[in-house]
Structure 1
């Protein structure tokens, strides 16, 4: 009887440890570093995550922006860190699903070198047109592009190899339009060229397009996600326009490789309640993001599927992988 009680008490204590993430901080008050390799909404979201984890875990969480090389600098620092929960990273799926297919040699393995903790949100890109085409919807934009022939270029931001670039490639393959890409590092420059009539089409994150869209200076004619964007719910997805293309990025928290399962579970349990907070959901909607909870195993499976899809798309498009 005594032994049974001890076993039950042990099981209860284990369940409580998982259900109450603050226990993670009881014997270690050292800061947690949350790396982020992109600016704008990714950096802002990382700071929301840091504030939430600080409140739940009772440990300081410091956001370190390490920009450069499309996020690879920050990812390299994560790879070199110890798997003790003191260094994490908030990153888009591009580094784990697109980059392995577009670079001939990466200094990391997207599977073996990292531990997925949990997915936070997803976001898509928008397809927009301006005064050069006069198109009011995707059907009219496709008709203009076909009539224009080789002059039917599209701009993509943040440039070659981005999800925006591949939305254009996939759309061209699916419809037979002769789109050629013009790469922009900055979506702001692309929006200016689009609204002034120097560029017929721009594909980039939906958020930078919204202000000009609502002002009537440009028109977002489609978004690339599985669902409509919360920023422009009146705009159809590419699938809804009859184009069988769906490309969206996830944004998630990652840790170094070989993170102990108990620590992964506790960090995931600490992270997830944030996604249900109305204030978090409201800010995500303003940035064109949608909360999207997945645990580490689900996230790993999703990334594997995404890598496979991009592998097929890269090969079908004839895109030549770049050397680093």
Structure 2
């Protein structure tokens, strides 16, 4: 009888825990997992978020890399998770704004299958050149590109469908200079080819370009965002350099669909104080990121706007959709 009573009490406690899933009970110390679908700066910033949540929530928070298919592997796991706040994901906006416009079939709905919780930061990509062009600014680079009778090319990393790829597409449309992409999965290989003179232009995350830019081996001519990068404040934006293109990514915290509003607000309120900490801002700046705090609804609205802009860009470019 005592065993049966213990079992019933355990089931009742479990039911109460589930019922309280929208707010988490005070003594609930089960771990929170933050999935990351991309390496490098995304993993780095996800760990800053984990530190903050660990501190404010007083419970274990771990970061788990689920690399593959441009983050879609991690998104699939998030989609299948319970909406109890124990599985979250730190992701760029690409999966929600670019992918729906370039793939014929996705195994997720970018709106219905997820809950935007908090916008954390923004980051851009850089446009760099090397000894092949001799250009010291965007005006000279465009003139060099126009003079290439065989057609100009540019490298992009991390490859087809990335924001780097679409910055190149947008530049070609804005300048009227056709430019064919060469896709690199890794920015390091692209930088080697750029510095050695095998590649005329490379468009990739600003952070990997900075050291080589400062050493003089390559020249970072412009950044793609609406504001200058905190990493290289002396480098103009594309618009400042005379090319009417502004593309920057956001990165934020997401949960599965149907998370209770109270739980979303609890996590949002727990993570936001980090963006006011000078050391956190400095560490983010070292990765080429700047704080961009947004509530869940604000993040959702930003993604909707970004999807529309990429839809127009994809149509204008004649980009051929692929199967996911």
**Is the TM-score greater than 0.5?**
yes
SS in 1 for 2:240: helix
Provide the rounded CA distance (Å) in 1 between the counterparts of 2:54 and 2:117.
Answer: 17
Cα deviation code 1:255-301 (max 9, x no counterpart) = 00000001111110001000011110001111000011000000000
Matches within 5 A, 1:121-200: 121-200=121-200
Provide the rounded CA distance (Å) in 2 between the counterparts of 1:139 and 1:241.
Answer: 7
Cα deviation code 1:6-32 (max 9, x no counterpart) = xxxxxxxxxxxxxxxxx8561311000
Q: Which moved more, 1:251-260 or 1:145-154?
A: 145-154
SS in 1 for 2:127: strand
- In structure 2, the CA distance between the partners of 1:135 and 1:56, relative to structure 1 (3 Å rule), is same
- CA contact 1:25–1:57 (8 Å) conserved in 2: no
- CA contact 2:138–2:242 (8 Å) conserved in 1: no
**Aligned equivalent of 1:275:** 275
Runs of at least 5 residues in structure 1 that lack an aligned partner in the other structure? 1-22
In the TM superposition, residue 150 of structure 1 has moved relative to its aligned partner by 3.5
- CA contact 1:36–1:63 (8 Å) conserved in 2: yes
SS in 1 for 2:298: helix
- In structure 2, the CA distance between the partners of 1:130 and 1:258, relative to structure 1 (3 Å rule), is same
**Aligned equivalent of 2:114:** 114
**Aligned equivalent of 1:15:** none
Cα deviation code 1:128-163 (max 9, x no counterpart) = 000000000000000000011433100000000000
Provide the rounded CA distance (Å) in 2 between the counterparts of 1:127 and 1:281.
Answer: 24
Provide the rounded CA distance (Å) in 2 between the counterparts of 1:246 and 1:112.
Answer: 28
Runs of at least 5 residues in structure 2 that lack an aligned partner in the other structure? 1-22
Matches within 5 A, 1:206-221: 206-221=206-221
**Aligned equivalent of 1:295:** 295
**Aligned equivalent of 2:71:** 71
In the TM superposition, residue 319 of structure 1 has moved relative to its aligned partner by 0.4
**Aligned equivalent of 1:91:** 91
SS in 2 for 1:148: coil
In the TM superposition, residue 33 of structure 1 has moved relative to its aligned partner by 0.6
Provide the rounded CA distance (Å) in 2 between the counterparts of 1:194 and 1:101.
Answer: 30
Provide the rounded CA distance (Å) in 2 between the counterparts of 1:139 and 1:68.
Answer: 38
In the TM superposition, residue 106 of structure 1 has moved relative to its aligned partner by 0.1
What TM-score do the two structures reach when normalised by structure 1? 0.92
**Equivalent residue pairs, number:** 302
Q: State whether structure 2 residue 315 is matched by structure 1 residue 315.
A: yes
- CA contact 2:139–2:242 (8 Å) conserved in 1: no
CA RMSD of aligned residues (A): 0.9
- CA contact 2:35–2:64 (8 Å) conserved in 1: yes
SS in 1 for 2:147: helix
SS in 2 for 1:240: coil
Provide the rounded CA distance (Å) in 1 between the counterparts of 2:289 and 2:30.
Answer: 31
Provide the rounded CA distance (Å) in 2 between the counterparts of 1:30 and 1:100.
Answer: 34
**Aligned equivalent of 2:252:** 252
Cα deviation code 1:210-250 (max 9, x no counterpart) = 01100000001010001000111111001111211111100
